[in-house]
Amino acid sequence: MVDSVVVVGGGTAGWMTATYLNAAFGDRVTVTVVESKNVPALGVGEATFSTIRHFFNYLGLNEQEWMLECHATYKLAVRFEDWNKPGDTFYHPFERNRVVDGFPLTDWWVQKKPTERFDKDSFLIASMCDAQSSPRYLDNSLFDGTFERGEEHRTTLTEQNTQFPYAYHFDAALLAKFLTRYGVERGVQHVLDDVVDVVLDDQGVIDHVRTREHGDVHGDFFVDCTGFRSLLVHQTLKEPFISFQDHLPNDSAVALRVPVDMAERGIRPATTATAKDAGWIWTIPLFERLGTGYVYASEYATPEEAERTLREFLGPVADNATANHIRMRIGRSERAWVKNCVAIGLSNGFVEPLESTGIFIIQNGIEQLVKNFPVGREETDVHLRDTYNRHAAHVMDGLREFMVLHWYASGRADNRYWKDTKTRALPDGLAERLEQWKVKLPDQDSIYPHYHGFESYSYRAIILGMGGLPVQPLPVLGKLDSTAADREFQLVADQAAALVEKLPSQYEYFAHLHGLP
Ligand code: FAD
C-alpha cells in the first residue's frame, strides 16, 4: 500500500503538490514536505493561465482571501509587444473564438479584416486589457455570468468545458507561504532541513531520504520538487534528460522586483511580453509591485548585457532593485515517474516562461498523479506509471511545439537572434503542420494531437498576431454569405465598448478589496 508520500522541495511545486494530495486523500495518506533552509525557492513564476482556478477550487480556497494575501491581480491575456515589428501590439486572450456559420471568427477576420487588429475585432478581452478593466464588478460578479457554471464541482484540467476568462498574477513567495500554512493546518508534516542523501534499497527503489538535522525520512512514494537540481529523479535515479535547446535557445533570465505606485500606473490585466534583441522581457503587475525579467539566450547576450537591457527598459524605478540571475534547464525528463518517485515542477522539465506554462505543468503533474496514484504492487503500478509518463511527455512536447511557433511565426528577422529563429530545427511534425496552417488556420484537428493545455484558438491568435507566416483567406469563405460574420464583428465591438464603459478598472477593484480609499 502507498500510505505515505514524501515531497522533497518547498517551492511552488512542493507546496502545490502537498496541499493537493492532502485535499484529495485527507488523513488516508500522510504527506511530508522536506524543504531546505539553505537553498531558496526560485521566486519567479508569478503569472498563470486560466486553468489554475481548478487548483484553488479543489483546495476549497476563497479567491478573495488568498488573492489579498498574495498581492494577486487578474490576468486576462498575454500582451505581446514588438514581436512582429517595433510598436506592434496584440493580445492572446483567455477567450475562445466565436463561431459563425461553422467557422471561427478569426477565419472570417482573415477574409474581411474589419480593422487591422484581429484581436480587438474578434475578442472582447483585447479591449478590456487596453482599458485596464477588471473582469469583476465591485460587487464581485463576473463580467459574463455564464462563465460561473461548474464552479461548485471540484473539476480538473482535462474536464473543463468552458474557457474561463482569467488567470492570476501573484507573488510566488507569498503563495508558497500561504500554501504552507494551509497545508500544515490540515496535517501536512513539514521538515525544514536539507536532504543530504537519497538512499535506495537493493531493488534501486527509494527507501528514505537522509536530512542534515532531522535524521531519515521514510515514505512509500517520493515526489521530487527540488527545482532545476532534480536531486531524486536525475541525480539519484539517473533518468536521462531530453534537452529542447536545439528548438528553444533561451537558457537564461535576469529578474527584478520593482515597487511601483499602482494607483498612478494602473494595473493592466495582462502579462506583457516585450520582444528584445536576444529574447523578451516579462512585465507582471501585482498589487504593489512589478515582477519583471529578461529571458534571453546566452549565445546572443551576456548576463551583464541582459541586465543592462532590462534596467534600460524599466528606467529609474528599478535603480534600487537587486538582480536575480537564473540559468534555465530547457527540456524534460525522458520519464517523469521512475520507480517510486515522480518529478513535478522544474525537476521534471521546463519549456521557457513565455505563455506562463510552468505552474500549469505542475498542476497537470499533480492531477495526473492523483488519477494514477500507485498501490505499491509493481504489476499494477507499472501501468499507472506508463500512463502517467506518456501523458506527461505529451504535455511537454506539445508545449515545446506551441512555444517554437511564437518565434518561427514572428515577423522579426532584424538581427542574428531573430534570423536564427527562422532557420532553427523544428520539432517533428511541426513543419508539416505549418504548411497546412498557411492554407487553413489551425483547428482542433491540425494542432499537436495530444493534450497540452492549449486549444486551436490560441494557435490562431499567435499566428495572426506574430505576423510572420503568410496566411491566406480560407477559399470557401469567399463563396459564403458573410452577413452573419459582419454582424458578429459589430456585436463584438458593441459589447466590448459597453463592457469597458461599465466595468471598474482593475486598480479600483483591488483598491476596494484591500479597503483602500
Ligand atoms: P524551486 O522554486 O526551485 O524550488 C525548489 C525547492 O527545492 C526549494 O524549496 C528548495 O529549498 C528545495 N530543495 C532543493 N534542494 C534541496 C535539498 N537538497 N533538500 C531539501 N530541499 C531542497 N511559471 C509560471 O507558471 N509562470 C511564470 O510566469 C513563470 N515565469 C518563470 C520565469 C523564469 C525565469 C523561470 C526560470 C521560471 C518561470 N516559471 C514560471 C516556472 C516557475 O517559476 C516554476 O515552475 C515554479 O517556481 C516551481 O518551481 P519549483 O518548485 O519546481 O522549484
pLDDT tens digit sequence for 333-364: 999 999 999 999 999 999 999 999 999 999 99
Query: Quick one: average pLDDT of 168-178?
Result: 94
Average pLDDT of the chain?
94
The confidence score (pLDDT) of residue 484 equals 95
Q: Quick one: what percent of the chain has pLDDT higher than 70?
A: 96
C-alpha of residue 9 to centroid of ligand 1, in Å: 9
Distance of CA 423 to the CA centre of its chain: 26
Query: Quick one: average pLDDT of 115-137?
Result: 96
Which residue lies with its CA nearest to atom 31 of ligand 1?
A: 45
C-alpha of residue 255 to centroid of ligand 1, in Å: 14
C-alpha atoms less than 13 angstroms from C-alpha of 368 in its C-beta half-sphere: 27
pLDDT(160) > 60: no
Q: How far is CA 267 from CA 22, 44, 284, 497, in A?
A: 34, 19, 9, 19
C-alpha of residue 120 to centroid of ligand 1, in Å: 35
Q: How far is it, in rounded angstroms, from Cα 327 to Cα 332?
A: 15
The confidence score (pLDDT) of residue 158 equals 57
For ligand 1, is residue 9 a contact (CB within 6 Å)?
yes
For ligand 1, is residue 6 a contact (CB within 6 Å)?
no
Query: Quick one: average pLDDT of 489-502?
Result: 94
Q: Which of 42, 236, 298, 366 to mutate to test the pocket of ligand 1 (most atoms within 8 A of CB)?
A: 42
pLDDT(153) > 60: no
Question: Which of 16, 507, 47 minimizes the C-alpha distance to 288?
Answer: 507
Q: How far is it, in rounded angstroms, from Cα 230 to Cα 224?
A: 7
Work out the number of other CB atoms within 10 angstroms of the CB of residue 490: 12
Tell me the pTM: 0.96
Query: Quick one: average pLDDT of 178-190?
Result: 97
Q: How far is it, in rounded angstroms, from Cα 509 to Cα 290?
A: 18
Q: Give pLDDT tens digits for 14-62.
A: 999 999 999 999 999 999 999 999 999 988 889 998 889 999 999 999 9
Q: How far is it, in rounded angstroms, from Cα 6 to Cα 254?
A: 32
Atom of ligand 1 nearest to the CA of 39: 11
pLDDT(145) > 60: no
Q: Which of 33, 36, 171, 244 to mutate to test the pocket of ligand 1 (most atoms within 8 A of CB)?
A: 36
For ligand 1, is residue 345 a contact (CB within 6 Å)?
yes
pLDDT(162) > 80: no
pLDDT(217) > 60: yes
pLDDT(161) > 90: no
Question: Which of 332, 306, 310 minimizes the C-alpha distance to 319?
Answer: 310
Number of residues assigned to the chain? 517
For ligand 1, is residue 210 a contact (CB within 6 Å)?
no
pLDDT-derived band of residue 149, with 50, 70 and 90 as boundaries?
very low
pLDDT-derived band of residue 291, with 50, 70 and 90 as boundaries?
very high
Q: At what angle do helices 12-25 and 172-185 cross, to 10 degrees?
A: 30
The confidence score (pLDDT) of residue 285 equals 97
Query: Quick one: average pLDDT of 232-252?
Result: 97
pLDDT(516) > 50: yes
Q: Quick one: what percent of the chain has pLDDT higher than 90?
A: 92
pLDDT-derived band of residue 157, with 50, 70 and 90 as boundaries?
low
Any idea which of 157-171, 282-296, 355-369, 403-417 has the lowest mean pLDDT?
157-171
Query: Quick one: average pLDDT of 188-198?
Result: 98
pLDDT-derived band of residue 415, with 50, 70 and 90 as boundaries?
very high
Q: How far is it, in rounded angstroms, from Cα 431 to Cα 125?
A: 31
For ligand 1, is residue 195 a contact (CB within 6 Å)?
yes
Number of helices (H), then strands (E), belonging to the chain: the values are: 16, 23
**Phi then psi dihedrals of residue 335, to 5 deg:** -125, 135
pLDDT(476) > 50: yes
pLDDT(159) > 60: no
Work out the number of other CB atoms within 10 angstroms of the CB of residue 411: 17
The amino acid at 397 = D
At which residue does the C-alpha cell 504552507 appear? Answer: 180
The confidence score (pLDDT) of residue 151 equals 45
Q: How far is it, in rounded angstroms, from Cα 145 to Cα 164?
A: 11
The confidence score (pLDDT) of residue 115 equals 97
Work out the number of other CB atoms within 10 angstroms of the CB of residue 432: 11
pLDDT-derived band of residue 156, with 50, 70 and 90 as boundaries?
low
- Identify the bridge partners of residue 290 per DSSP, sorted by sequence position: 258, 285
Distance of CA 53 to the CA centre of its chain: 12
pLDDT(86) > 60: yes
Active site annotation includes 75: yes
**Phi then psi dihedrals of residue 179, to 5 deg:** -70, -30
Q: How far is it, in rounded angstroms, from Cα 203 to Cα 192?
A: 29
Query: Residue 425: helix, strand or coil by DSSP?
Result: coil
Of the chain, the end-to-end C-alpha distance in Å amounts to: 56
Any idea which of 46-60, 146-160, 239-253, 489-503 has the lowest mean pLDDT?
146-160
Q: Give pLDDT tens digits for 440-458.
A: 999 999 999 999 999 999 9
For ligand 1, is residue 226 a contact (CB within 6 Å)?
yes
pLDDT(226) > 60: yes
pLDDT(150) > 50: no
Query: Quick one: average pLDDT of 90-114?
Result: 95
Catalytic one among 75, 120, 276, 339? 75
The confidence score (pLDDT) of residue 147 equals 46
pLDDT(146) > 70: no
Atom of ligand 1 nearest to the CA of 253: 34
The confidence score (pLDDT) of residue 155 equals 57
